[in-house]
Amino acid sequence: MVGSLNFVNSPLLAEAPPPLLEHHPLGASTGYMVDLRGEWPRLVEEASRVSSFAVELAALGEDELPGLLDFLAGDPPLPFRYLSAHAPSKERIQSEVEIVAQLAELPQLVDSIVVHPDQIEDPAAYAALGGRLVIENMDARKTAGKRVEELTQLFEALPQAGFCFDVAHAWSVDPTMALGEELLDRFAGRLRHVHLSSLSPQGGHVPLTGEDEGLFAPLLSRCRDVPWILEAEPRLH
Amino acid sequence: MSSLEQLAEYSDGGFSNLSMARTRTATRIADTRARLAAVPADPDACVALFGSWGRRELTDHSDDDWAIVVNGAERPETQPAAARIGEVLGGGEREPGVRGTFGNAVFCDHLVDRIGLDADDNKNLTMRILLQLESVAVVNDEVHRACQSRVLDGYLDWSVKDYRPPRFFLNDLVRYWRTICVDFVGKEREGSGQKWALRNLKLGTSRKILFASGLLPILLCHRYVASDIRSFLSRMLERPSIDRIAWAFIELGAIDAGIRAVGAYDRFLEMIGDRSVREELEQLSRKEAQRSASFQEGRRLGEELEQGLLALLFETRLEPMVREHGIF
């Protein structure tokens, strides 16, 4: 109501949330396209079939990062309006400084650079990534970066950094989804995109199940304005 | 408490740049009013400031886009004279735009009587929309309000219906938004597209705020009977643009998206308030901008703002209104 004016709110206009995979913008992570790993043109082609609006180019192993840099340096004609790159998240071989230096070379068309907090030893080293740095909440198997207080410390050290909400990771730590609510409450202003999938018993990303779709829906309704990146193949049925 | 402050309470760190800009603007408005207090003015003329003044978002580098707005027909001379106002406003780097839209007298009869057709030129359309959506008076506030009221009445004729957004106003607003988008390219093609990068970023942020701050109240008229629509719009338009938007995010239950959208705009304000960044953006060519970290950061902030506004328009109870009235 505004002042003394009364308005109608027709029940015909009640919200009926659409199925999750109808979200816009939706995108695919190339991380699940394991058979094509390193073949960036084909990965992009495959991701474009899921969505031409958003994508996450995942260089999950350090050895994939130079290839991604070379590919992007060639100014490929990419259709995506939102382009994320996922930093290496597997066992590190190079020094942290060397990895960050390579990430900083990602061209400006890359909107966000997703980093796992358990890979961060010296937060100051990541300041060079500025507002493109996006920190993801971790799953139950990890030793750091799962809870609000752990992530708060990182964000205090890296005030420009954004937040990537991995809803399945939050579920693995707290199946009641209360942690997910806390993360969104605390880091709402930082949220840049969502990682969407279900998790296998071993903790790997698998296609979103119908059960999880219902479980995750309330939290995802708080993220309607950001890209959702699928970390596993879209479920067909 | 303003809607902006209410939305800020839900966020982690508030919107410090918008808040500081609002305080700065209030101080500058009071100062300007004092400096112009002794200037003789016709009883039907006011001096209004537009753009970031009207949005209450002044940075240290904002232009003084001003005009003498006369609540009447065109005449050859007005008090105050433009030259007299130019002694106080628009000096140095604050000079109003070069296309003659500002720094002159504007006549409300034209704003009201020339809506559409050839006589409604770019300047007239611009003035009419800005007067409604982002202006503030520094001389003769009551004349300014009277002109706003006349323009609003000019849109709300017999065709306004219960529970329907006022089409005439909506169409004029959409036309204005698309006009500035098309003119952006037009200026570039005619070779007058200086400061391409900065103007491009403003189109994606502050111009979008202007458009959305009119679009949202107009669409939300669908809640009211025809006799209440004028009152609703009038109360909405008294608020600064960003307050109208913050209010809509809260009202429609899209608080998370609102925090992010307004937060992105807040960061953009910080960015262009930085002299070195602003100077860099003023110099960048279109080609250079693609590789500029500052430009790309500004572009990303514009995208975040847009995605929040789109979620408000398409993921809330507004969606049927957008579908029904937003395209055709």
pLDDT tens per residue across span A90-142: 878 999 999 999 999 999 999 999 999 999 999 999 999 999 999 999 999 99
Helix or strand run (H / E) with residue B137 = strand B135-139
Q: Domain count for chain A, please give it.
A: 1
Instruction: For chain B, positions 227-246, list CB contacts with chain A under 8 A.
Output: 228, 231-232, 235-236
Instruction: Name the pLDDT band for B1 (thresholds 50, 70, 90).
Output: very high
Within 8 A of B230 by CB-CB distance, chain A residues are none
Mean pLDDT value of segment B94-116: 88
Please judge whether A108 and B292 are an interchain contact, meaning their C-beta atoms are less than 8 angstroms apart. Answer: yes
A159 within domain boundaries: yes
pLDDT at position B46: 98
Which residues span the domain enclosing A205?
Answer: 23-230
Burial of B181 per CB tally in 10 Å (0-12, 13-18, 19+): middle
Which residue's entry shows tokens 């570039």? B188
Burial class of A180 by CB neighbour count within 10 A (0 to 12, 13 to 18, 19+):
buried
**The complex's ipTM?**
0.91
Give the CA-trace dihedral at B210, B212, B214, B216, to 10 degrees.
Answer: -160
3-state secondary structure of A122: coil
pLDDT for res B61: 87
Containing domain of residue B267, as a range? 3-325
The answer to whether residue B97 scores a pLDDT higher than 80 is no
Residue A8: inside a domain, yes or no?
no
Q: Give a yes or no: residue A4 inside a domain.
A: no
pTM > 0.90: yes
Cβ count near B98 (within 10 Å): 10
Is pLDDT of A237 > 90? Answer: no
Asked if residue A17 is part of any domain, the answer here is: no
Cβ(B142)–Cβ(B69) under 8 Å? no
Chain centroid to Cα B312, Å, comes to 19
Question: In chain A, which residues touch B (CB < 8 A)?
Answer: 2-3, 5-9, 12-15, 25, 81-82, 107-109, 111, 130-131, 184, 186-192, 222-226
Judge whether A14 lies within some domain. no
Nearest Cα residue in chain B from A155: B12
b (16+ CB within 10 A) / e for A185-194: ebbbbbbbbb
pLDDT exceeds cutoff 50 at A15: no
Give strand pairing partners of A163. Answer: A135, A191
Q: Mind listing the pLDDT tens digit for each residue in B151-192?
A: 999 999 888 999 999 999 999 999 999 999 999 999 989 887
Residue B92 has a pLDDT of: 72
CA distance A58 to chain B (A): 20
CA distance A127 to A129: 5
Q: Is 50 exceeded by the pLDDT of residue B39?
A: yes
The answer to whether residue A237 sits within a structural domain is: no
pLDDT at A17 over 70: no
Instruction: Please indicate whether, in this complex, the C-beta atoms of B263 and A8 are within 8 angstroms of each other.
Output: no
Closest chain B residue to A192 measured between Cα atoms? B304
Per-residue pLDDT for A5 more than 70? no
Is residue A2 within 8 A of residue A203, CB to CB? The reply is no
The answer to whether residue B22 neighbours chain A at the CB level (below 8 Å) is no
Domain of residue A216, CATH code: 3.20.20.150
Q: What is the arithmetic mean of pLDDT over B11-18?
A: 94
As to burial, measured by CB atoms within 10 angstroms (0-12 exposed, 13-18 middle, 19+ buried), residue A39 is middle
| Inter-chain CB proximity B224 and A224 less than 8 Å | no
Chain A residue with CA closest to B294: the answer is A108
Q: What is the pLDDT of residue B157?
A: 85
Total of domains in chain B: 1
Given this model, what pLDDT does residue B91 score? 73
Predicted local confidence at residue A3, as pLDDT: 56
Q: Is residue A9 part of a domain?
A: no
- Residue A81: CB atoms within 10 A of its CB come to 17
Query: Residue A50 pLDDT > 70, yes or no?
Result: yes
Nearest to A5 among B11, B232, B261 (CB): B232
Q: What is the pLDDT of residue A12?
A: 40
Q: Strand locations in chain A, DSSP E?
A: 26-29, 54-58, 82-86, 112-115, 133-136, 162-166, 191-196, 198-199, 205-206, 228-230
Specify the pLDDT at position A22. 85
What is the reported pLDDT for B191? 82
